Chain A
Amino acid sequence: MITMSHYLTFSALLFCISIAGIFINRKNILLLLMSIELMLLSVNTNFIVFSHYSNDITGQVFVFFILAVAAAESAIGLAIIVSLFRKRNSIEINLINKLKG
């Protein structure tokens, strides 16, 4: 039997994986974008679970807003990556080091 706490553990795990993905990843910026998406999806899972178990629809409304904003966010992120790629001809994270004290 899958209970509410299973779902919550699942989404907390997803959240941790996405944070780890952002900080461990040293290679590619696109992986950063994917991790960010994963983070927002774990939040969505949380909202859906809470909204399902408390019979309240507002949590699911929130999920739609998060999905829409996440799409806009990754569009802007990709645009920034494109403008970075035009100058640098690469999107490796190691090469983003021009700003230094």
Chain B
Amino acid sequence: MIIENTITSLLNFIPEIILFIMSMVILLAGLFKFSSKYVFHLAVLSVIVAFIVSLQNQTITSSLLFNNSIIKTNVTDFFKHICYFIFLVQILISRNYLKDKKIITGEFYSLLIFALLGCFIIISSNNLIVLFLGIELSSLSLYSLIALNRSSILSSEAAIKYFVLSTIASGIILFGFSYLYGITGTLSISDISKYLISYDESNLYLFSYVLIFIGVAFKFAVAPFHMWLPDVYEGSPLPITNFIASIPKIAFFVLTYRFLEDNPIINNDNFSKLLLLLGIFSILVGNLFALAQKKIMRMLAYSGVANAGFIFLGIFSAINNNFSIAAFYVISYAVTIVSAISIVTFISSKKFDLIYINDFKGFSSRSGYVSILLMITLLSTAGIPLTIGFYAKYLVLDALVDRGLILAAVVVVLMTVIGLYYYLRVIWFMFFESGSNSLINVRGNFSLFILSLIPASIILVFLFPDSIFKYVFEILT
């Protein structure tokens, strides 16, 4: 671990600094008539430049920046690159949707980049203060982004719900932080997770970890804490839903990884039971509630609850510090859900918002190509072979069986089979029902190209799993 001085720290932090400065520039550019047309181009340009710079100075040895408050390892780099890729797909797809809704403004892109920056700070923080500021930076930007569509009554409602529950989550996480600080006397995460607790402190240490993980469960929308997710998915503008569904999940996964890495608490019976119960309960609730949904976004939200349960099971099975299963699951889920929501964003047009699942009836006669893309994506979320989602689910189940939890594995498999129903229903509607809706948008060659990237990679990774899985395995063990 190299400890860098301020100058080299700044040099290592250039991508984030670029994002920060450019979001200010975009905010300014949105104010004037001559430049407000170019906010989209500026946003894409700044993210691409930051991505390239970040690819250029990848770390070989891990280093601590800014007086040990920021950590830069190949793990953080890898997850940031995934985030950059997802974010680029999202903003490239969402342009027409935003134009139709008239929210393609400077402050939209500025806040969106701030939210991304907040997630990056969560990923790379090594200090509780910095971590807290990162969490708040991303969630404060998201509150205002959800409420940005002021003409819609649903948006403000979704915003107030997200606001209240997300602040409760931050409060609970902070309460856990305060006890951690009290026991260990330090705010540095790498010191906290290596802190040797004496016997009479161990209960309080466990208690603070439980508080932090309840807060993280709120942010992941794991089952008893999932109430906000369907409403927020439904009420917020689709590009924001797309963001909330993917990038914060990656960020909070890296946070859990940072807290549990090299930490004996993962082997603690009570703590791992908490993770297991939350995971299984979440899979039950998510799949059963998703069956009853009529709206596509609510269905995806409940499927997100079920998938968050899988992520928790992956973290649960990370005994011996092997987080690669959970990491692989998070990445595959985030990429897949982005593809699904991007397709819904793409086909919603000015005159027609695609809300109900019934609207997909006869969609294949309107555009066979897009419906095949959506089919691949949904099959991957369901975990059918020939897609990356199959490997992800298989690895989690394999780890469960390895730990002798046969009953849990059986329940999970049963729930996944039940879950197949609601994914296949959409596919059935698209291919085997008639009633094509001519208002659905299927135009735009560039968007179609971007949309095909993720389904293509979903299948390619299934055929050549070594490519990505070996790398994830290498850096996370």
Contacts and interface: CB of A to CB of B under 8 A. Distances in A.
Interface residues of B, number: 42
A6 interface: no
B157 A46 contact: no
Contacts of B143: 76-77, 80
3 pairs of A and B residues whose beta carbons are closest in the complex: A46-B178, A50-B182, A39-B171
Residue with the highest number of chain A CB atoms closer than 10 Å, among B128, B161, B179, B230: B179
B45 interface: no
Given A39-B168, A69-B132, A76 B178 contact: no
A98 B163 contact: no
Given A18-B171, A80-B163, 9 more contacts: A36-B167, A40-B174, A50-B185, A69-B136, A80-B159, A87-B156, A99-B158, A101-B230, A101-B295
A46 B133 CA distance: 18
Interface residues of A, number: 40
A15 B294 contact: no
A99 B133 contact: no
Nearest to A65: B129
Contacts, number: 114
A36 B181 contact: no
Interface of B: 128-129, 132-133, 136, 140, 143-144, 147, 150, 153-154, 156-161, 163-164, 167-168, 171, 174-175, 177-179, 181-182, 185-187, 230-231, 234-235, 292-295, 298
B178 A22 contact: no
B187 A58 contact: yes
Prevailing SS type, chain B contact patch: helix
Contact of A22 (B153, B159, B164): B164
Nearest to A12: B175
Residue with the highest number of chain A CB atoms closer than 10 Å, among B178, B179, B234: B178
Interface in A28-55: 29, 32, 36, 39-40, 42-43, 46-47, 49-51, 54
Residue with the highest number of chain A CB atoms closer than 10 Å, among B159, B167, B168, B235: B167
A72 interface: yes
Interface of A: 15, 18-19, 22, 29, 32, 36, 39-40, 42-43, 46-47, 49-51, 54, 56, 58-59, 61-62, 65-66, 69, 72-73, 76-77, 79-81, 83-84, 87-88, 96, 98-99, 101
B130 to A, nearest CB: 9
A99 B157 contact: yes
Contacts of A29: 160
B313 to A, nearest CB: 26
A50 B178 contact: yes
